[in-house]
Each structure stands twice: as C-alpha cells, then as structure tokens.
Amino acid sequence: MHKKNPSSNLESKLNAVSNALKQSMKNIDSFTHVRGESLYVDDVNVREGTFHAVVFDSPKAHGIIKNIDYSKAEALEGVERIFTYKDIPGENQIGGIFPDEPLFAENEVHFCGMPIALIVAKSEFVARQARLLISIEIEELPVIITAKEAKVKGSFINAPRSFSLGNTDKAFEKCAYIFEGETFSNGQEHLYIETQGAYAEPSENGNLKITSSTQGPTAVQKTTAKVLGIPMHKIEVDVTRLGGGFGGKEDQATPWAVMAALATFHLNQSVKLVLNRHDDLRMTGKRHPYESSYKIGLSKDLKIIAYEAEFLQNSGAAADLSPAIAERTLFHATNSYFVENVKTTVLSCKTNLPPNTAFRGFGGPQGMFVIECAIVRAASEIGISPIKIQEANLLQDNDSFSYGQIATQVEAQNTWDSAKSIFNLESLEKEVEDFNSTHQNFKKGLALMPIAFGISFTNTPMNHARALVHIYQDGSVGISTAAVEMGQGVNTKMLQIAAQVFSIENSKVKIETTNTTRVANTSPSAASSTADLNGKALLKACNLLRDRLKEIVAEEYKTQKEHIELKDEFVYINSEKTDLTWTALIGKAMERRVALSENAHYATPIIHFDKTKEKGHPFAYHFYGTAIITTTVDCIRGTYVFDDVKIVHDYGKSMSEGIDLGQVEGALVQGIGWMTMEEIAYNDKGKLLSNALSTYKVPDIFSIPRNIDVIPLETQGNDMAVLKSKAVGEPPLMYGIGAYFAIQNAIKAFNPNYTLKFHAPMTPEKVLMSLYKK
Ligand code: MTE
Ligand code: HPA
Ligand code: MOS
C-alpha cells in the first residue's frame, strides 16, 4: 500500500519531482540533445559522391497503372537513375507478417502514397524536381475508405479472431441491464520528430551497411536481404538513436532502408533517403481507426456479467502489423475489469489507406476505449456515475482474463483506492460541482481512468534478447544490446544495469549503437519490453563477468567468491575494503588471459499462447494504474483545458524515476491528443487531408494539462520485470482515454439535453456543437 499522503497538490507534486530527481540519473542523451549534438540519420557524415533519393508514389488510392513516363525525369541534369520493381533482384516483397506488400507497385496501386519508384540524383533538390516531371496514367478502381465499407464488401486482411470466456448468451438472460452501442476511435499520426530515413553505403564484395532510423534493425536486415536476394550476413544495420518512433518505425522504417540499399546495390555508391514531412505523412500508416459495436450486460449491483464486442480495424491496404495489433485489441478488451462472460471478435478490414501500423498501445487503447464507452453509456442510462460501475468491476487476484491467463499481483484495486484517497476524490468532485453551480460559461468535468496492460510481445517467439559486454583492459565497458534508443531512455537504463552490477562509475560505461553484427536476430524495440528483455540479458552477461572476476580475487586472496564484493570500484572481502581497484582487477584478468567479453541470451520464461484455442499465458506480468482527469470547458468557444491529471502509477520498483515520469507524462499527453484533438482525415478518394501540421493538431505546450501529479504505487515490484522495474513505455497513453469522458461530463453540466457521443476525437468543434445541440 501507499505510504505517501501529501496534504496538498503542490506538496505531492514537489514530493514526486524531488523523489524522481533524487532516485534517478539523468537521461544520458540529455546533454547532447540540448546541445544539438545527438546524431540521427540525417547527421551521418556522408561519403563523397553520395546520391540522394526521393520516392515517387501513387497519386491515386486504387487503380491499374496504364502508363508511366519517366523520360523527362531521367533526362534532367543530375538524375542518376530511377529504380522500379523491375530493378529488384530478389523478391518485391516487404510484408512482415504476410507477404502481401510490394516494395514498389507493379501493375496496381492500392493507396495514395504507395511507392512506385525511387529517383536517385546528385541532390535531393534535383530528385524532387525530377519527381515533378514523371507522368502517370492510372485507371481508377473503386476505393474503400472505412472499415465498415470493407466489411460490407468482404474485404479483409485475414480471418477474424475471437476470444471468449464463459457464455455470454446465457449471461445476458440474467442481466438487469443490457445496452448496445457503437463507437469510433480515429487513427493517430506518430509525428516522430525525425522523419523516416536511411543511409546505405557499399563495402567490398557486395557487402552493404545501412544506417537506419528503425525500431527493428533485424527487420531491416532481413527484408533487405530478401529484396536484394542476398544473404543476411552481407548486410549490416546500424542505429544510433531515433528522434522518436512510437511504433511508427517498428515495421515502417523498413521500406526506405531497403530502397536506399537497392540503389546502393546497383550503383555501388552511397545513397541517402530521408523523407520530408509531407512525404512521410502521406506515405506512412498510422494508428488504426476502429469502428466497434458492443453489448454490455450488468446485474442490479452493477457487476458487468456479460460483454460482447466486435472490432472493425481499419487495416489499410496491406497487413503490416495489423493482425498482431488486432490480437492485442482482444487482449485488452476488458481493460482492468473482470468480466465473467466475454465474447470479442476483431476483423482486420482491408481498405485503400496506407497500411496502418503499430502505435503506442498497439491496439490496446482501441479495445479499452470501447469498454469505457460501454460503461459510460450504461451509467448514463441507469442514472449513476460511471465511477460506480468502474469500481464495482475492478480485476482482483486470481480472476481470469478472457484469454485464460490468471491475474496475479493485481494492483487494479490498489491503484484505484490509492488514487481516490491520496488525491481525495470526494473533494475533487465537490470542487467540480461547486464550480459548475457558480459558473455560467465555464464548466468542469471529471473522469477516472483505470488501466491494465499486458507486458510481453503477444507473439511469444518474439520475447527474447541478447547482450554483448566487453570490459576493455583499462576498465572501461562497452555494451551492445538489441535495444534501440528512441527517446524512452532505454540506453540510460542499460547503463545503470551495467554500472550497478560492476559497481563502477557511470562514465566508465558506454552504450554502443544498436548493430546487427554485434547483436543478431533481434526483436524490434517495442511492446514496452525493450528494457525488460535486453536488460535481463545484460544483467546475465554482467553477472557472468562479475563472477569470473570474483574467481580471480578468490584465488589471489585465498578466499571464497561469496565473501567478495565489488563496490565503488574497489574489491571488498568480508565487507572490508581491499586496495585492489576495479582497474587493477581488470589488469589481473588480462595477465591471466581471462575472457573479458560475454554474450548472454534471455527468453522470457513461463509465457505461452495457443492460437488454436485462443488461450494461454501470453504476458510476463501486467501493469496497473489509475488516473483522475479534470477539465474545464469554455462553453462560449468550445475549447477546453485539462486542469489536473492525477495518477497513481504502478512502476514496480522504478530504476529510473525521472525517465519513467517522463514516459508517463509523454504518453498521457499523446493519449489526450488522440482522444481530443488529433483528427486524421482522408477524403472519399483516399487522399490524406490532414497532411500538414496546419491541418493536424497535436498537443502543444498550451494544450498539455496544467498540472500532472504522478504518485508511484509502492509495491514489491515483479520479478519478471528487470530489477523489478515495470515496463512503462506504452501503458500511460491509455490514461488519456479519461479525457474524452471528462469533457463530456463538462458538456452535460452545460447542456442538460446533451446525448453522449462515442466518436473520438472530441475536438473543440464537436464540443461547441454539443454544447448547443438541443
Ligand atoms: N518514448 C519516446 N520518447 N519516444 C518513443 O518513440 N515509443 C513508445 C514508448 N515511449 C517512444 C517512447 C513505444 S510505442 C514503445 S513500445 C516503447 O517506448 C518502447 O520502448 P521500451 O520498450 O523501452 O519502453
Ligand atoms: N507489441 C508491439 N509490437 C509487437 C507486438 C506487441 O505485442 N507483437 C508483435 N509486434
Ligand atoms: Mo510500440 S507501439 O510497441 O513500438
């Protein structure tokens, strides 16, 4: 249970902040970030003679290519060559899960922005000029934009998936209340600051090196090998860091790297391809929009005894990661609630949009939004607060998820109760009431959002990682893992682990780039599991080395390993400091010809999942948290501010509270953005209308909550989490779902005739209309 019980908001905030600063080290990238010295793909020192590339993409969402005239473009001074599918020596195929996505369109196009050719020139400017000179004739075919249309036309990526628990048909017969409804949640643009890009360089014997802004270096290596028709060992992929990924570079960083490599392969010259913002927005997929329907049944005492949902996922024109994302929607369809009878189905609907892809939460948020809608709707019909229904159904130890995993170490009730008591929910509710009864043109609304999120790749075979550790002879240490730093601070966590095991200064540890020649066959950095998987492998490697070093000491000092400790760069025996330093110990190891490198492998134990039964134990553990969100709506203008977001968050035993707090705040704001202001729009021809930051609004400094309090839930942590520090990357995004309902509560306070909406995002335009709708 929590111990902290700060008397005021300010105090609690100060406590949280000072705690965070005390207990954690700064993100090791913060220094180079603020000085502008951090390196991204666009900062690579290119070789002399490097070519620059621009992608020529489809102007139509669906059709047959009748003719393309490249002649004028090819004739432009400075254009080296234009590559199409005809230049692919291997397979024209980049699909990650299913082979359903060509690198370059051949005879048909399936979405606006679909790559058709790569223009390679002496400068990006020339390549862009050349692009304007290409003419294309397309015979247009019917276009499918929405998931519903796709369902009607039977256009799917794969067969539907269903999870079920108990018997919903029977259970509905016993319900005191039954409600059915439909919901929509829109897509979301990743808007990583660094756009997609790659730099490929040739080496001897047809070997290639690719510097890529990817979350999945192995995916880039593997797909490049397939497209070029060469073995993987000929391709080295290197990643320094990403200027953000958010899932958008789990799979969709690959095509650009493959294209650059293809051009390098043919030209034997370096090629750089970095998308500009417009190209990136147009050509890449986003979070999946979902159209869903639900049926919820409750007992008199507000227990949800049956829940059914059908999720129509707008997958776009190819599978990409859609099937895996659809699966996670099912895993999280009941959020942090226990429902005895569940039947959920997801259909991955094939449309003529760019293939939608991973985005923080990976389908989980879309599933959770629907049950929250169902609860809010039920509460409104019954005439009670949704908080009552949420509270009555929180998951408890030994409850079963619909996929068969039995919940253990559940903190749903704990984070909920803690949030209520620490932040004094009653007085917050009273503040809102008082405010609303004394203000005409401004109204406040409040909502609670409990969340549960499963940690592990849902695809069990992906849950593994390796670490390669070198101790150099001067005592400094180099670490390689599969972890990709994308702003989430994983490199800092890796550094902490090594420094802690060896008990040496942070400055003695260097985190190397992520490179496929040092750590091979890796899973992408994703599923919030990067620190867990790579950290556990790293721990293992460091422990092996430390053990080996202790053996040397044991021999020299005629003692046992158990009596030896490495502490603050000195060797201790029986808790007494010796004069043997870390560096001297490494010197001894060199003299004795002891290996100072170690490579370790970690594969998450216990987890398994049987897709034929849709049952198993897919997650190493679950994350839990509860947020209380308060908003004030300006009822003249329809605009809103978020006054307060108060969170009790289960970090386990956070190893980096500063970094983890940053993750909570960033994800929360991203979730609020998805739910309230970010509005992806395509026209009925499949053209992206929200194709610039003037037409796509992301949260800025003015729209973030005025106050964010995050209180760590004090628990024992979980052994499956690295150093008991729970995964934090994706889950807090889902706190943002509460923002959607807080706004509607404020609208209701202003307009008693208002009927609830379940169509996100709740943009200021929608709010304004809702305020005055009779
Ligand atoms: N934080 C920053 N700053 N930048 C990012 O791109 N990606 C998110 C999250 N936090 C992201 C981020 C996503 S989608 C995931 S899956 C996790 O970080 C991945 O890193 P982790 O596994 O180390 O948490
Ligand atoms: N999360 C993120 N990425 C993934 C997953 C997942 O569960 N499964 C496959 N790729
Ligand atoms: Mo995160 S969506 O798993 O990259």
Residue 189 appears among annotated catalytic residues = no
Single-letter residue type at 98: F
For residue 354, whether the previous peptide bond is cis, meaning omega lies within 30 degrees of 0, is no
Q: What is the Å distance from ligand 2's center to 553 Cα?
A: 44
The answer to whether the beta carbons of residues 157 and 323 sit under 8 Å apart is: yes
pLDDT at 458: 98
Q: How far apart are CA 472 and CA 264, in angstroms?
A: 35
Mutational pocket test of ligand 1: of 494, 730, 734, the residue with most ligand atoms within 8 Å of the beta carbon: 730
Q: How far apart are CA 530 and CA 523, in angstroms?
A: 9
Q: Where are the alpha helices (DSSP H) in 528-649?
A: 530-556, 582-591
What global pTM score does this model have? 0.96
Alpha carbon nearest to ligand 1 atom 7, residue = 246
Q: Which two tokens stand for residue 392?
A: 């009555």
The answer to whether the beta carbons of residues 497 and 609 sit under 8 Å apart is: no
Q: What is the 3-state secondary structure (H, E, C) of 282-328?
A: HHCCCCCCEEEEEEEEECCCCCEEEEEEEEEEEEECCCCCHHHHHHH
Q: What is the Å distance from ligand 1's center to 242 Cα?
A: 10
Percent of the chain with pLDDT over 70: 97
Taking only the tens place, the pLDDT of each residue in 434-473 is 999 999 999 999 999 999 999 999 999 999 999 999 999 9
Give me the catalytic one of 194, 411, 679, 730: 730
Average pLDDT over residues 647-660: 96
708, with CB counted inside 10 A (0-12, 13-18, 19+), is buried
Q: Which two tokens stand for residue 336?
A: 């942090």
pLDDT at 173: 98
Taking only the tens place, the pLDDT of each residue in 39-96 is 999 999 999 999 999 999 999 999 999 999 999 999 999 999 999 999 999 999 999 9
Name the pLDDT band for 6 (thresholds 50, 70, 90). Answer: very low
Q: What is the Å distance from ligand 1's center to 663 Cα?
A: 8
Q: How far apart are CA 94 and CA 82, in angstroms?
A: 20
Single-letter residue type at 584: A
Name the pLDDT band for 13 (thresholds 50, 70, 90). Answer: low
Three-class SS state of 436 = helix
Which of the ligands is closest to the CA of residue 332? 2
pLDDT at 11: 58
**Residue 400: DSSP 8-state:** B
**Which run of H or of E encompasses 629?**
strand 621-634
Q: Which residues of 560-598 are buried (b: 16+ CB within 10 A; e: fewer)?
A: eeeebbbeebbbbbeeeebebebeebbeebeeeeeebeb
Three-class SS state of 752 = coil
The answer to whether the beta carbons of residues 160 and 344 sit under 8 Å apart is: no
> At CB < 8 A and 24+ separation, what contacts does 99-103 make?
100/157, 100/318, 100/319, 101/317, 101/318, 101/319, 101/320, 101/355, 103/227, 103/255, 103/258, 103/259, 103/262
Q: How far apart are CA 230 and CA 233, in angstroms?
A: 8
Name the pLDDT band for 716 (thresholds 50, 70, 90). Answer: confident
Name the pLDDT band for 582 (thresholds 50, 70, 90). Answer: very high
Other C-beta atoms lying within 10 Å of the C-beta of residue 709: 23
Rounded to the nearest 10°, the torsion over CA 532, 239, 102, 186 is: 60
Mutational pocket test of ligand 1: of 459, 463, 488, the residue with most ligand atoms within 8 Å of the beta carbon: 488
* 524 Cα nearest atom in ligand 3: 4
Nearest-CA neighbor of 379 among 370, 369, 390?
Answer: 390
Name the pLDDT band for 25 (thresholds 50, 70, 90). Answer: confident
Q: Is residue 362 within 6 Å of ligand 3 at its C-beta?
A: yes
- Please state which of the ranges 404-418, 492-506, 528-542, 709-723 shows the lowest mean pLDDT: 709-723
Name the pLDDT band for 10 (thresholds 50, 70, 90). Answer: low
Q: What is the mean pLDDT of the chain?
A: 96
Average pLDDT over residues 203-232: 98
21 — phi, psi (to 5°)?
A: -70, -35
375 — phi, psi (to 5°)?
A: -65, -45
Q: Is residue 25 within 6 Å of ligand 1 at its C-beta?
A: no
* 242 Cα nearest atom in ligand 1: 6
pLDDT at 22: 45
Alpha carbon nearest to ligand 2 atom 5, residue = 457
* 247 Cα nearest atom in ligand 1: 14
Q: What is the DSSP string of 59-128?
A: SSSSEEEEEEE-HHHHHSTTEEEEE-GGG-SS-S---SSSS---SS-SSEE-STT-EEEEEEESSHHHHH
- Examine the pLDDT at 19 and tell me if it is beyond 80: no
Residue listed under structure tokens 């808790």: 575
Q: Which residues of 328-365 are buried (b: 16+ CB within 10 A; e: fewer)?
A: bbbbbbbbbbbbbbbbbbbbbbbbbbbbbbbbbbbbbb
Q: Is residue 358 within 6 Å of ligand 2 at its C-beta?
A: yes
Three-class SS state of 474 = coil
Alpha carbon nearest to ligand 1 atom 3, residue = 487
- Examine the pLDDT at 7 and tell me if it is beyond 50: no
Half-sphere exposure of 226 toward its Cβ, with a 13 Å CA cutoff? Answer: 19
Residues 6 or more apart from 480 whose CB is under 8 A from it? Answer: 467, 468, 469, 512, 513, 514, 515, 518, 519
Average pLDDT over residues 197-203: 98
Mutational pocket test of ligand 1: of 360, 456, 722, the residue with most ligand atoms within 8 Å of the beta carbon: 360
Percent of the chain with pLDDT over 90: 96
pLDDT at 717: 87
Single-letter residue type at 437: S
Rg (CA), the chain: 27
Name the pLDDT band for 16 (thresholds 50, 70, 90). Answer: low
pLDDT at 714: 82
Average pLDDT over residues 229-233: 98
Nearest-CA neighbor of 110 among 70, 154, 144, 68?
Answer: 144
Q: Is residue 527 within 6 Å of ligand 2 at its C-beta?
A: yes
Task: Report the largest interatomic distance among the alpha carbons of the chain, rounded to a whole angstrom.
Answer: 87
Q: Do you know the residue count of the chain?
A: 774
Nearest-CA neighbor of 760 among 368, 445, 180, 333?
Answer: 368
Q: How far apart are CA 610 and CA 614, in angstroms?
A: 6
Average pLDDT over residues 347-358: 98
Name the pLDDT band for 773 (thresholds 50, 70, 90). Answer: confident
Q: How far apart are CA 280 and CA 276, in angstroms?
A: 6
Q: What is the Å distance from ligand 1's center to 407 Cα?
A: 25
pLDDT at 332: 98
Q: How far apart are CA 174 and CA 299, in angstroms?
A: 8
* 727 Cα nearest atom in ligand 1: 24
pLDDT at 21: 46
Q: How far apart are CA 116 and CA 114, in angstroms?
A: 6
714 or 286, which is more confident: 286
